Amino acid sequence: MTTTDSASAGLVGKLSTLDRFLPVWIGAAMAVGLVAGRLVPGLGTALNTVSVDGISLPIAVGLLVMMYPVLAKVRYDELGSVTRDRRLLWSSLLLNWVIGPALMFALAWLLLPDLPEYRTGLIIVGLARCIAMVIIWNDLACGDREAAAVLVAVNSVFQVIAFGLLGWFYLALLPGWLGLETTDLAVSGWEIAKSVLIFLGVPLVAGFLTRRLGERAKGREWYETRFLPKIGPIALYGLLFTIVILFALQGEQIAARPLDVARIALPLLVYFAVMWAGSYALGKGLGLTYERTTTLAFTAAGNNFELAIAVAIATFGATSGQALAGVVGPLIEVPVLVGLVYVSLALRRRFTVEANR
């Protein structure tokens, strides 16, 4: 066994039971949610009774709980090195705001030409860049936490500015130029800003204050070796809780319209695979480290389903095809990106070998 193999085996051995069997827990969470959604009458209605910015309150709570521990791990005093890496920043903006939306537009029209509601929903998903779950995927894949925090923040600012404009471009202007069916999208910058403030701003401020106060009271060594290990598992508990709620909310629709879900899933699968692999290739070609290449790939491949679902419901209604497409987004994204976490960890060995040559 080589030194690299031994190190990889040691890393796996140190993982907690929760981390090591994550795909099993996620599969179980999906199954529990689907069964609950089918067997408990009125569960979906009850979960949606109270909402935050168009998102079910239980989902909002799960997302905030999920993101807080990871953002508490970020070393905020080291963010400067990330902001100075122009290759990383410009690559992320290119992937998120030029290539990603264009790819989803093309896939939606190529694979769903006869289903305008689902097509529009997918295009909205493509415009909503990730600000929540990407933090978890990046951390599980041992990406650069500081880089993830910076890229998520930068893309969130662009999301407030660009979402409405790109929605108009891809749903009305470009289809009109191409002689295709057009759609109006009424969404205000303030609605998008609220989503960013709730789902990124709250856990980001909480994480920053936790580290600042914790280090000031006990020092960095205590904070990172004693405190962080205690709160770390909370992120995965939040993830599993969110997945259960998501599948419970849509269990009935998924069971009632399996063929529609399959049609929506196909372009999503292609999208996630192409965005992740292309971003990985770009990062490696630019000479980025494994950690930053991984962060670039996950921040480009993930999507802000909270925003996409909220916009679809507000514009087209909760029972619309657009809303269903928005919901199917995370149902496909979760298992696919979990799989890509393990692909990343396998690629990590190659990066290590090449770096040691």
Residue-level pLDDT at 17: 61
Is 348 exposed, middle or buried, given 0-12, 13-18 or 19+ CB atoms closer than 10 A?
A: buried
Q: How far apart are CA 286 and CA 236, in angstroms?
A: 32
**C-alpha distances in Å from residue 220, one per residue of 26, 97, 118, 306, 319:** 33, 37, 49, 34, 49
Is 264 exposed, middle or buried, given 0-12, 13-18 or 19+ CB atoms closer than 10 A?
A: buried
Tokens representing residue 340 in the block? 């890509």
Residue-level pLDDT at 4: 41
Residue-level pLDDT at 132: 66
Residue-level pLDDT at 280: 94
The set of long-range contacts for 250-259, using a CB threshold of 8 Å and a minimum separation of 24, is 250/37, 250/44, 250/324, 250/327, 250/328, 250/331, 251/33, 251/34, 251/35, 251/36, 251/37, 251/38, 251/44, 252/37, 252/38, 252/44, 253/324, 253/327, 254/34, 254/328, 254/331, 255/34, 255/38, 257/324
pLDDT in tens, the chain (357 residues): 444 444 444 444 444 566 667 778 878 888 888 888 778 777 777 776 777 656 678 878 887 888 788 788 888 887 777 778 889 999 999 999 999 999 999 999 999 999 999 999 999 999 888 766 788 889 889 899 889 888 888 888 788 788 888 888 999 889 999 998 888 776 666 667 777 777 778 888 898 999 999 999 999 999 988 998 888 888 888 888 888 887 787 767 777 778 888 999 999 999 999 999 999 999 999 999 999 999 999 999 988 776 787 777 767 776 678 878 887 887 788 888 888 998 998 888 777 656 555
- Domains for the chain: give ranges and CATH numbers: 17-351 (1.20.1530.20)
Other CB atoms within a 10 A radius of the CB of residue 5 amount to 10
Residue-level pLDDT at 23: 73
Q: How far apart are CA 93 and CA 47, in angstroms?
A: 35
Tokens representing residue 258 in the block? 């399996």
Residue-level pLDDT at 9: 42
Residue-level pLDDT at 8: 42
Residue-level pLDDT at 7: 40
Q: How far apart are CA 26 and CA 15, in angstroms?
A: 16
